[in-house]
């Protein structure tokens, strides 16, 4: 078996909200910068029965629920737990595990711990002691990732100096080189774009736009289901709390706008929030992007060692503004550390470059965490703080966090309210350490929806089609058939999308 082993570094990650993917990508970049052949895959993209053929595997896994594996790890984990795998099955495999968790939870980093143990029980040999990232640390999981990744590279280099780079810190700012972006953008002339697309209307067109934007995005979307199945319209938005009580809880009722879907008690509704059109305009202006241009997004062919995750081969152009609205979270999520690293390369003002390089360095990590994550600074705010930086669209598409859906428990019964679904939503708002008011993107957006304006019948919607644009706020959502397995909710693939049309 040894002679057929793969001479590469395989990096497998399992994430629920994106952190583990970010950490895994960092290890992938470090490999790439050091000239080490590496493959980066989500666990559900890898056939785990092939593990004995690998020589070196790094696992980056988070813990979710109450000590549960992320959805993308479930199949792989079930396989690894099989009784017929004996303690020699992974002999010859070198592995390392980095876990992401939160020590505020009882089952702290449970998944990384049990994976580490199981791999060792199956005969694999640990390269370094497992690393455990903790959300409770003042600078988040990166505090543990920095030293862990240095010792990983040191040990790998000792094992095989020809294959693995040494433990140097491969940061762009030190190296004066920039990685190649994982995606390339093609611009399309309006007359090249299908006429049907330009005059398309109604829900099916909306559906197509959502699917296009979300399948073209390099960011991972939950379950990788991108096409909505069903649409809904808000009919009631009622505040359940007294003014001035310090809480804002809403009762929201939606009608099914297209095919009604079935749901059960325990199901959740996932909603894709609309973004503030003014923020979208500000972002497009700040980045000097033409909102009316048509684009397609493609993986770069530079190198297939590090795979551009999740990008579909879609070749149907999409309006740039639509893509930003539906796939790029510019106004709520904080950018990752790598965003600052890449920005430092493009900064033309010396003081901005210095500050960005500091943020991207190991010494600046804690300050970056305070400035960025703790303050929940959005991409737009960060870009506004560094006006000399002009990031090319390729980098923006790759680095701006994807616009994610938010899950809400359904508070209605389908037998009492056929054709409807209700939510009870706590509107999230808080003050940052620097006394900036922040609000949850989706709950605030839902709270601000006004049912008085939503009286369109489907025919009026159809009649609107020449003016159909993403000025209509929209939400896509789907139900995950929630099956209670002990304390966790297992989500299977029966998704139903819904759209709300405000005017």
Q: Does 374 bind ligand FMN (CB under 6 A)?
A: no
Shortest separation between residue 220's beta carbon and ligand FMN, angstroms: 10
Kindly tell me which residue out of 11, 16, 310, 445 binds ligand FMN, with binding defined by CB under 6 A.
16
Query: Is residue 53 left, alpha or beta, with left meaning phi > 0 and alpha meaning psi from -120 to 50?
Result: alpha
Question: Residue 55: enclosing H or E segment and its boundaries?
Answer: strand 54-62
The 10 Å CB-count burial string (b at 16+, else e) for 232-254 is: bbbeebeeeeeeeeeebebebbb
d(CA 432, CA 94): 43
Q: Does 475 bind ligand FMN (CB under 6 A)?
A: no
Near ligand FMN by CB under 6 A, which window of 15-23, 151-159, 160-168, 474-482?
15-23
Q: Does 72 bind ligand FMN (CB under 6 A)?
A: no
Which residues sit opposite 318 in a β-bridge? 295
Q: Does 227 bind ligand FMN (CB under 6 A)?
A: no
Q: Does 67 bind ligand FMN (CB under 6 A)?
A: yes
Shortest separation between residue 369's beta carbon and ligand FMN, angstroms: 13
d(CA 503, CA 491): 33
Kindly tell me which residue out of 40, 43, 100, 449 binds ligand FMN, with binding defined by CB under 6 A.
100
Shortest separation between residue 26's beta carbon and ligand FMN, angstroms: 13
Mask of contacts with ligand FMN, 235-264, x by CB under 6 A? ------------------------------
- Smallest Cα–Cα separation from 169: which of 183, 155, 186, 151? 151
Near ligand FMN by CB under 6 A, which window of 105-113, 300-308, 437-445, 473-481?
105-113
Kindly tell me which residue out of 39, 42, 64, 357 binds ligand FMN, with binding defined by CB under 6 A.
64
Q: Which residue is nearest to ligand FMN (CB)?
A: 101
Shortest separation between residue 493's beta carbon and ligand FMN, angstroms: 19
Q: CA distances (Å), 30 to each of 40, 146, 165, 213, 248, in order?
A: 12, 12, 9, 30, 45
d(CA 177, CA 342): 10
Kindly tell me which residue out of 102, 146, 169, 381 binds ligand FMN, with binding defined by CB under 6 A.
102
Kindly tell me which residue out of 65, 218, 219, 274 binds ligand FMN, with binding defined by CB under 6 A.
65
Shortest separation between residue 106's beta carbon and ligand FMN, angstroms: 7
Q: Does 20 bind ligand FMN (CB under 6 A)?
A: yes
**What would the two tokens of residue 493 be?**
């693939």
Near ligand FMN by CB under 6 A, which window of 99-107, 150-158, 205-213, 401-409?
99-107
**What would the two tokens of residue 129 be?**
């002691």
Residues 6+ apart with CB under 8 A from 498: 228, 230, 231, 232, 254, 256, 257, 261, 269, 271, 421, 475, 476, 477, 478
Three-state secondary-structure class, residue 338: helix
Q: Does 18 bind ligand FMN (CB under 6 A)?
A: yes
Spell out where 159-293 has E strands.
Answer: 183-188, 232-239, 249-256, 268-271
Contact 310, 397 (CB under 8 A): no
Q: Does 218 bind ligand FMN (CB under 6 A)?
A: no
Q: Does 43 bind ligand FMN (CB under 6 A)?
A: no
**SS3 helix, strand, coil % of the chain, rounded to 5?**
35, 20, 45
Place of tokens 């999308």: 497
Question: Which CB sits closer to ligand FMN, 114 or 321?
Answer: 114
Kindly tell me which residue out of 34, 52, 70, 167 binds ligand FMN, with binding defined by CB under 6 A.
70
d(CA 409, CA 395): 35
Q: Does 15 bind ligand FMN (CB under 6 A)?
A: yes
Mask of contacts with ligand FMN, 138-157, x by CB under 6 A? ---x----------------
d(CA 53, CA 3): 9
Which spans of this chain sit near ligand FMN (rule: CB under 6 A)? 15-20, 62-67, 70, 100-102, 105, 107-110, 135, 141
């Amino acid at each position: 078996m040894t002679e057929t082993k793969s001479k590469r570094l395989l990096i497998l990650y399992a994430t629920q909200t994106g952190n583990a993917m970010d950490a895994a990508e960092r290890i992938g970049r470090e490999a790439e910068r050091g000239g080490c052949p590496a493959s980066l895959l989500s666990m559900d993209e890898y056939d785990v029965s092939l593990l004995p053929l690998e020589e070196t595997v790094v696992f980056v896994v988070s813990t979710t629920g109450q000590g549960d594996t992320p959805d993308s790890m479930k199949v792989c984990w079930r396989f690894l737990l099989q009784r017929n795998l004996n303690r020699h099955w992974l002999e010859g495999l070198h592995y390392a595990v980095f876990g992401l968790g939160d020590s505020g939870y009882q089952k702290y980093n449970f998944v990384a711990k049990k994976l580490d143990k199981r791999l060792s029980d199956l005969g694999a040999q640990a390269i370094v002691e497992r690393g455990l990232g903790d959300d409770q640390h003042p600078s988040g999981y990166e505090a543990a990732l920095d030293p862990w990744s240095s010792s990983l590279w040191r040990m790998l280099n000792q094992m095989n100096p020809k294959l693995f780079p040494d433990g140097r810190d491969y940061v762009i700012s030190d190296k004066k080189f920039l990685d190649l972006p994982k995606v390339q953008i093609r611009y399309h002339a309006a007359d090249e774009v299908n006429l049907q697309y330009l005059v398309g209307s109604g829900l099916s067109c909306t559906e197509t736009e959502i699917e296009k934007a979300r399948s073209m995005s390099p960011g991972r979307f939950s379950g990788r289901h991108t096409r909505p199945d069903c649409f809904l319209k808000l009919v009631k938005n009622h505040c359940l709390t007294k003014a001035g009580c310090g809480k804002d809880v809403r009762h929201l009722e939606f009608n099914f706008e297209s095919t009604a879907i079935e749901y059960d008690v325990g199901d959740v509704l996932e909603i894709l929030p609309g973004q503030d059109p003014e923020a979208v305009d500000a972002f497009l202006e700040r980045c000097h992007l033409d909102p009316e241009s048509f684009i397609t997004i493609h993986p770069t062919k530079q190198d297939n060692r590090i795979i551009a995750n999740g990008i579909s081969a879609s070749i149907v152009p999409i309006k740039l503004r639509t893509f930003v609205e539906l796939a790029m979270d510019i106004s709520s999520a904080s950018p990752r550390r790598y965003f600052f690293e890449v920005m430092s390369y493009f900064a033309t003002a010396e003081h901005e470059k210095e500050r960005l390089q500091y943020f991207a360095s190991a010494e600046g990590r804690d300050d970056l965490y305070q400035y960025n994550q703790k303050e929940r600074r959005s991409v737009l705010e960060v870009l506004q703080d560094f006006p000399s930086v002009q990031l090319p669209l390729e980098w923006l598409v790759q680095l701006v966090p994807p616009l994610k859906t938010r899950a809400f428990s359904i508070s209605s019964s389908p037998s009492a309210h056929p054709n409807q679904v209700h939510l009870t939503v706590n509107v999230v708002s808080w003050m940052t350490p620097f006394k900036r008011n922040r609000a949850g993107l989706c709950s605030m957006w839902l709270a601000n929806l006004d049912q008085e304006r939503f009286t369109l019948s489907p025919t009026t919607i159809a009649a609107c089609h020449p003016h159909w644009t993403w000025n209509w706020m929209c939400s896509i959502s789907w139900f995950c058939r929630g099956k209670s397995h002990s304390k966790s909710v297992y989500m299977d693939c029966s998704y139903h999308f819904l759209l709300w049309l405000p005017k």
